[in-house]
């Protein structure tokens, strides 16, 4: 088992990220951080049949309640958040109750936001069961729900008291979702660690074959990168914005196509290529690095263009969606752009007209 300590400026919020096999079988990883005698588990109708019974079997000494969401990004809504709160109130949860998120990113975000806001905040534990949630959304304390006008527009920072990442859960993960999670791993390497990017290039076949050592290595390194950045900037006032590489374009694509059409990681993969192409056009990134980024994304089975969706999207709609991004200042865009493999910059005051022209050329090239 690997253990990472995420250390924050507010020392009371420090916590462990446990990574390994058979972690769910050892209930002490869970029970040692449960506060009080009440537990409220949030999961979904895909994950619950696989892991809920096993999880509950180690919680007989606790008053245990369960709430199940429907699976999918389209269910990450204020309406479902409200239903979780209603269930928590009806269960009579006290302030020292512990909420457990058992599932992927949607479950973790929804459960975390409920924990952040119920009685001004209760403890919660993340048990991520998708690759994307294991390397990204379960680490760092961001919680949120979507709004029809934008992704993750309503939320809070609320750190878990532990993250338990059991790689055995990846064996029940559909291949498409596994590959979607790889996008966030590529992102971590691209923005922070050129050597890790080279390792991903060299070990692509081992990763796609789910070789144990490769899985643990890439999950541990991705979490370590995110933990280091979050430790420097918990509330995203500066360098934590680096972690949004590919997300300004990606979130706009998700919103314009409708949440759930593309998996989040797929949209981020396309968004990273767009950010790289825009950086190259702006003189920030060399063409050789753009090619390496496109190649690694394709080798790991992810989309790198909007091919197949070009007739459903317009450059105007995409820019309008990008203008809702939380990083923006005043009437201009803020983009996270790669300068080289392993280094990014925060580009403020990007004119929407410039991005619109890039997107227009991008979509037209797919139709031609």
pLDDT digits (tens, 9 = 90+) for 258-310: 988 999 999 999 999 999 999 999 999 999 999 999 999 999 999 999 999 99
The residue among 348, 329, 324, 353 whose CA lies nearest residue 337 is 348
Positions annotated as catalytic residues are: 120, 142, 184, 226, 236, 240, 244, 247, 251, 264
Pick the CATH number of 175-367 from 1.20.1090.10, 3.30.300.210, 3.90.1640.10, 2.60.40.10: 1.20.1090.10
Sorted by sequence, the CB contacts under 8 Å of residue 180 that are 6+ apart come out as 131, 132, 263, 264, 265, 266, 269, 302
Binding-site annotation, residues for NAD(+): 71-76, 105-109, 129-130, 142, 151, 169-172
As a whole-number percent, the residues of the chain with pLDDT over 70 amount to 99
Give CA separation, 208 vs 1, 178, 180, 202, 298, in Å.
22, 9, 12, 12, 12
Domain boundaries, the chain: 2-170, 175-367
Q: Which residues are annotated as a binding site?
A: 71-76, 105-109, 129-130, 142, 151, 169-172, 184, 247, 264
Per-residue model confidence as pLDDT tens digits over 112-156 = 999 999 999 999 999 999 999 999 989 999 999 999 888 888 999
Record the pTM: 0.92
Do the two domains 2-170 and 175-367 of this chain adopt the same fold? no
Sequence-ordered list of residues with C-beta below 8 angstroms from that of 37, at least 6 positions apart, any chain = 61, 62, 63
Report residue 9's pLDDT band, with 50, 70 and 90 as the boundaries: low
Q: Please choose, from the candidates 268, 178, 188, the residue with its C-alpha nearest in 3D space to the C-alpha of residue 221.
A: 188
Residues comprising the binding site for Zn(2+)? 184, 247, 264
Question: With contact defined as beta carbons under 8 Å apart, do 352 and 329 qualify?
Answer: no
User: Mean pLDDT across the chain, nearest whole number?
Assistant: 94
Query: How many C-beta atoms surround the C-beta of residue 156 within 10 A?
Result: 14
What is the fold, at CATH topology level, of the domain defined by 2-170?
Rossmann fold (3.40.50)
Using the predicted structure, report yes or no on whether residue 330 has a pLDDT greater than 70.
yes
């Amino acid at each position: 088992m690997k253990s990472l300590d995420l250390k924050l400026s507010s020392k009371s919020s420090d916590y462990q990220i446990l990574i390994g096999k058979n972690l769910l079988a050892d209930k002490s990883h869970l029970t040692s951080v449960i506060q009080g005698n009440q537990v409220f588990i949030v999961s979904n109708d895909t994950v619950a049949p696989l892991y809920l019974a096993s999880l509950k079997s180690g919680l007989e000494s606790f008053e245990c309640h369960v709430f199940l969401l429907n699976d999918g990004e389209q269910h990450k809504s204020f309406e479902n958040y409200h239903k979780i709160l209603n269930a928590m109130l009806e269960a009579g949860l006290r302030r020292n109750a512990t909420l457990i998120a058992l599932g992927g990113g949607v479950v973790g975000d929804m459960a975390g936001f409920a924990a952040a806001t119920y009685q001004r905040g209760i403890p919660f534990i993340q048990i991520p069961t998708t690759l994307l949630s294991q390397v990204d959304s379960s680490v760092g304390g961001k919680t949120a729900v979507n709004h029809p006008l934008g992704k993750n527009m309503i939320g809070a920072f609320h750190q878990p008291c532990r993250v338990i990442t059991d790689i055995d859960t990846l064996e029940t993960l559909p291949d498409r979702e596994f590959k979607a999670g790889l996008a966030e791993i590529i992102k971590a390497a691209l923005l922070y660690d050129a050597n890790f990017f080279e390792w991903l290039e060299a070990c692509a076949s081992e990763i796609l074959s789910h070789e144990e050592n490769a899985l643990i290595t890439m999950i541990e390194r991705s979490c370590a990168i995110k933990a280091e950045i979050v430790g420097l900037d918990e509330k995203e006032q500066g360098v934590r914005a680096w972690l949004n590489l590919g997300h300004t374009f990606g979130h706009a694509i998700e919103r314009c196509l409708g949440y759930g059409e593309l998996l989040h990681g797929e949209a981020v993969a396309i968004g990273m290529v767009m950010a790289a192409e825009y950086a190259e056009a702006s003189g920030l990134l060399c063409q050789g690095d753009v090619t390496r980024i496109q190649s690694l994304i394709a080798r790991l089975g992810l989309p790198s263009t909007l091919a197949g969706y070009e007739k459903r999207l317009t450059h105007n709609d995409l820019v309008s969606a990008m203008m809702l991004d939380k990083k923006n200042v005043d009437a201009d865009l803020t983009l996270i752009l790669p300068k080289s493999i392993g280094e990014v910059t925060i580009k403020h005051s990007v004119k929407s007209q410039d991005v619109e022209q890039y997107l227009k050329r991008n979509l037209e090239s797919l139709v031609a």
